Each structure stands twice: as C-alpha cells, then as structure tokens.
Amino acid sequence: MEKGILAGNVRAAREEETIQVVTRGSRQDKVSQNESKSNRTSFYVGNWKRSAGTISEKFKQAQKSAIQRLLEQFESDSKIDQDMAADIRRAETLGENIKETQQKVSGLAEQREQLKQQYEIAPDSQEQRDLELMQKANAAKENPFDESLQLTSEEEQRLAGMPPVTDYQEAMLLLDEEEKMYRNTIRDNQKEIIEANATVDATKKALLKTHPMVDAKKEADEIIQTALDEQIGELYQEGVDKIDKDMKELEEKIKEKQEKDLEEKIKREKLDKEEAEKERTDKEAQEKALLTKGPVTTYNQQASASVQNNVKSLIKNQIAIDVDLKGLRFSKKI
C-alpha cells in the first residue's frame, strides 16, 4: 500500500515538474519571439476585440498535448530504465547462482574422495580404471567431435567385455551426472548474463544516439509554438478583414457624399441659369413695353432711351458672360 502511494506521489510530482518546464519554455520562447520581432511593422485594429475564450482554449489544448507527449516519453523512458534495471539485477542474480553452483561442483570432488575411501579403491586398481573408461565413453557421447575423447579399438573391446557395474562405480557415475547438471546450469546462466549485459549496453548506446526525451521536449515546444503561430495568424487575419471592411464602408460613404454633392451642384447651376434667363426675358419685355407707348419722343427721352438701351446691352452682355463663365466653371468641375 505504501509503495502505491509513493508511486502516485512521484508521478504527481513529475507531472507538476513537466508542466512547469513546458510553461517556462513557452514563456521563454515568447520573449525571444517578441525580441526578434521588435523591429517589425505591427498593426492596430482600434477598439476591435478578440474573444479570449477561443484562444485560451486552443492554447490550453496545445499545452495539454505537449504535456501528454512528455509524459508518454517519460513513461517510455521509465519503462526502459526499469527493463535495464531488471536485466542488471537478473545478471547479478545469475552471477550469484553461478557461484553457488560452482561451490556444489567443488563439493562433488570431496564426495568422490569420500567414496574412494569408503570402498577402499586404489588409484591404479582395475575397478578404478574401468570407471575411468566408462567416464571417457560418456564424455565421447557428449562431445562427438572431440577427437581426444574418442575410444581406441582396444578400449572399445575392453568396454564390451567389462563386468557389471559395481556400487562404487554406480555412485561415482551418479556424481558425474550431477556435476553435468550443475555445469549445464552454469553454462546457461553465463549465456543469460551475456545476453542481459548486451541488452543493457545496446539500450544505453541507442539512448545516446536518439535522445528520446530531448526529442520529445522539442516536439512539445513545436506543439505550443504551432498553437501560438495559429493564434497569431487568426488574430492577424481577423484584423486585416476588419480593416478591409472598415475601408470598404468608408469608401462607400465617400462615394455617396460625392454623388450627393455633385447632384446639388448641378441643381444649383441649373437654377442660376434659369434665373438669369428669366431676368433677361423680363428686361426684354419691359423694353418692348416702353417702345410701344408712343412714337413722339423728346431729346431727353431719346437720350434716356439710348442710355437705357446701352444699359440693357451691358446687362445682356454681362448676363451672357456670367452664364458662359458659370457654364465654363460647371464644365471644369464636371
């Protein structure tokens, strides 16, 4: 129970540390970006506001993905560390087993000496020589390609005519079988130790070449950076769209105002022209009325009429000039 609580605490601490690393790395990356972009042209969208909820949610999701990537790699690395530790412990256990088995093999030599003493077997006795011949024959079967263990024709003839196995020989052969079992165990353990050590060495070399946690950190940074770039791109595009919309509305308002001003100018020039024409017509009517009052005129009347005619001509010429000038101005404005 205590081990489970401890593992949970370690995992929680590791997650908290990972979150701090990712957040701190993101802040440092943001500061670096601000410094590198300090000389670039920026845009201002006025009172336009971006919904912070969408950005915050996307960035939280990016942080979550980055942290998840680091945690997955951490779990993978932990599994690799656990496997290497298990291989190392296994190699150590096998090494201890080999030492114990070798001690058992050494103990067999003492048992053999005891059997010789128990059965009073002399080193050069026929029973001992027959035992040694049987041991050689058994070794030849185990190692058929070892020429030094192959029996000669004389040895084969003597083995064929050998008397039944004695109690001493049977006990010694059983010890040989037991030693064979021990030596096979030692050989298998040594093979497993070699494999375990090779696995550990290969894993360490692979980790040195691949740097999985470093790569995972880079991927986490890229996830957050991509989220930031996407948000900046969205903000920029929405700002551009807002500016384009405002500019289009402004252009439409300017166009409407220009059209309205033009219409007013046309109406005003037309009205002025009509008034000038009406004034000229009224004056001509007055002149005709004066001329139809009587044929007799005095010198003063003639002089007055001449002055009036001159004035009328001047007025008519001035009106024509004014109308022409107004028309010229109107044409130029158009």
pLDDT value at position 46? 42
Residue 323's alpha-carbon distances to 281, 310, 311, 312, 332, in angstroms, are: 14, 20, 18, 16, 14
pTM above 0.75, yes or no: no
Which stretches of the chain drop beneath a pLDDT of 70? 1-56, 59, 211-213, 216, 228, 231-240, 290-312, 314-334
d(CA 70, CA 76): 10
pLDDT value at position 177? 96
Tell me the Cα Rg of the chain. 59
pLDDT value at position 77? 77
pLDDT value at position 226? 79
pLDDT tens, residue by residue, 34-56: 444 444 334 344 444 445 556 56
pLDDT value at position 152? 92
pLDDT value at position 211? 66
What torsion, rounded to 10 degrees, do the Cα atoms 178, 184, 189, 195 define? -170
pLDDT value at position 104? 95
pLDDT tens, residue by residue, 318-332: 666 665 555 555 454
d(CA 249, CA 237): 18
Residue 135's alpha-carbon distances to 104, 131, 147, 165, 328, in angstroms, are: 20, 6, 15, 12, 139
Alpha-helical (H) ranges within 120-166 are 126-142, 153-160
d(CA 90, CA 14): 28
- Cβ atoms within 10 Å, residue 22: 22
Q: How many residues does the chain have?
A: 334
